[in-house]
């Protein structure tokens, strides 16, 4: 084995955990307030995974000025197939706007079918309704 291939092998082993961890942006979310047409900043969003009938907390974050969390899934873990739940804490947002709302939070359950599948979950929100879909 020549020197170059030895270095290549050594470097690939050293960086293997990075190469196989969840890439940044594996799971992103976005909220748009349908009533105002603006994205709500500072909304807490949690991520959980279903395990033996219970929900295990994986991550939590707050939406940025554009109503987005660009990378909610922990970057130091692979996103494995299974059932997950993203919960948007919408009641706190509407309360901060001095508005009432019917839904204190919006849980969105979804299925991951491939390891590190890139997923986007948008939420179109109003005080008394919401809509979501599998985005890209």
Going by pLDDT thresholds of 50, 70 and 90, the confidence category of residue 3 is: low
List the CATH number of the domain containing 35. 2.60.40.180
Q: Is the pTM of this model over 0.75?
A: yes
| 66 within domain boundaries | yes
For the annotated binding site, the residues are 30, 68, 133
Among 59, 27, 67, CA closest to 43: 67
Confidence (pLDDT) at 25: 67
Q: What radius of gyration do the chain's Cα atoms show?
A: 19
- Provide the 3-class DSSP secondary structure of residue 123: strand
Residue 15 lies in a domain: no
Residue 2 vs residue 81, higher pLDDT: 81
Compute CA 39 distance to the chain's CA centroid, rounded to the nearest angstrom. 16
State how many domains the chain has.
1
**How does residue 35 score in pLDDT terms, banded at 50, 70 and 90?**
very high
Residue 43 maps to a domain? yes
Question: Does residue 14 fall inside a structural domain?
Answer: no
Joined together, the tokens standing for residue 113 give 């079918």
Instruction: Please compute, for residue 132, the number of CA atoms within 13 A of its CA located in the half-sphere on the CB side.
Output: 19
Would the pLDDT of 31 be above 90?
Answer: yes
In a domain, 7, yes or no: no
Q: In this structure, what is the dihedral angle of CA atoms 34, 59, 84, 94, given to the nearest 10 degrees?
A: -20
Do the domain assignments include residue 16?
Answer: no
The residue range of the domain holding 125 is: 22-132
- 11 falls within a domain: no
User: Which residues are part of a known binding site for substrate?
Assistant: 30, 68, 133
* Contacts of 8 by beta carbon, 8 Å cutoff, 6+ apart: none
- Identify the helix (H) or strand (E) that includes residue 18: helix 16-19
Q: What is the pLDDT of residue 43?
A: 97
Convert the pLDDT of each residue in 89-127 to its tens digit. 999 999 999 999 999 999 999 999 999 999 999 999 999
The answer to whether position 26 is within a domain reads: yes
């Amino acid at each position: 084995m020549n020197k170059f291939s030895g270095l290549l092998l050594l470097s690939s082993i050293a960086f293997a955990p990075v190469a196989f961890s969840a890439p940044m942006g594996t799971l992103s979310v976005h909220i748009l307030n349908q009533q105002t047409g603006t994205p709500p900043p500072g909304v807490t969003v949690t991520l959980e995974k279903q395990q033996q009938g219970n929900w295990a907390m994986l991550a939590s974050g707050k939406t940025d000025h554009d109503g987005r969390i660009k990378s909610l899934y922990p970057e130091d873990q692979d996103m494995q197939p299974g059932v997950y739940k993203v919960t948007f804490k919408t009641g706190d947002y509407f309360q901060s706007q001095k508005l009432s709302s019917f839904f204190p939070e919006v849980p969105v359950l979804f299925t991951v079918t491939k390891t590190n599948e890139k997923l986007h979950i948008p939420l179109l929100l109003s005080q008394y309704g919401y809509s979501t879909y599998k985005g890209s």
